[in-house]
Amino acid sequence: MNNQITKVYIWDMDETLILLKSLLNGSYAEAFAGLKDAQKGVEIGKMWEKHILQISDDFFFYEQIENCNKPFLEVMSNYDDGQDLSGYDFNQDGFSPPHDDLNKRRLAYRHRVIANKYKNGLHNILDQEMMDLWDALYKMTDEYTDGWLSSARALLEQCLAGNEDPTFGSTVAGGVVSSNATGSQHINVLVTSGSLIPSLVKCLLFRLDNLISYENVYSSWDVGKLQCFQWIKKRFNSRNTHFCAIGDGWEECEAAQSHEVAFYQGRPASQ
């Protein structure tokens, strides 16, 4: 009998692990009563928006599949026949919104490529100039937000290492840690209200990709967080699985309560 305990941490993204909306609308700076330069925050937010959209379009097919949002990458895997895509021309395959099996297969191919790019990391996609710009923007943002981004990363690492206190080690690829010493497994899962492809790009840009695997990124954009929580409970549930959710909004709180998942209220950035 397998008595291994599995602990699944279900995270909200925006305004919990990363900051973007509150930078763009100035609410983050407002919370500091004049101690933060609000315009600088807006400019930082706009730079992130630009990078997220550019990388989504240039490397992750977002311009082609923006209107084909799915709740997670592997949802189309049944349509993938495993074709070798090394010489495949994604600009000439006639892809259109996938209402038939052929286009569903074409979408599945794109999802497979996206998954591989996510696993391989941005250093295999971006040139050195873009890597330097990204690194500088990350450091600028972390400094402006008093270490919000690096603290979020540290918290994800602590949860993977077995620290069960999700209130703001070593990094382990894939966002899953198994401990022979404790007989437990720790998994980070992300449920975001944003569309899937930009959310995956955010994970890469905000350096969360080695803490949350692509299989564990869910978009509630079309289906709602209640449905995402249901899928996650079904996927991981067993007698020895424990769940907790961490976020700042009512929707993830409601979804957690509906599925009897412990919920930890993160501190909203605008407070």
Q: Which residues are annotated as a binding site?
A: 12, 14, 248
Percentages helix, strand, coil for the chain (3-state, rounded to 5) are 50, 15, 40
> Across-strand partners of 190?
11, 217
Q: What is the largest CA-CA distance in the chain?
A: 59
Residue 197 CB neighbour total at 10 angstroms: 27
Annotated binding-site residues for Mg(2+) read 12, 14, 248
Which two tokens mark 260? Answer: 């009897």
Q: Which candidate in 14, 80, 142, 209 is catalytic?
A: 14
Phi and psi at residue 111, in whole multiples of 5°? -60, -35
**Contact by Cβ (8 Å): 187, 8:** yes
222 is catalytic: no
C-alpha pair distances (Å), 252 with each of 21, 151, 166: 17, 21, 15
12 is catalytic: yes
Specify the length of the chain in residues: 271
Residues contacting residue 59 through CB under 8 Å, at least 6 positions apart: 117, 125
Residues tagged active-site: 12, 14
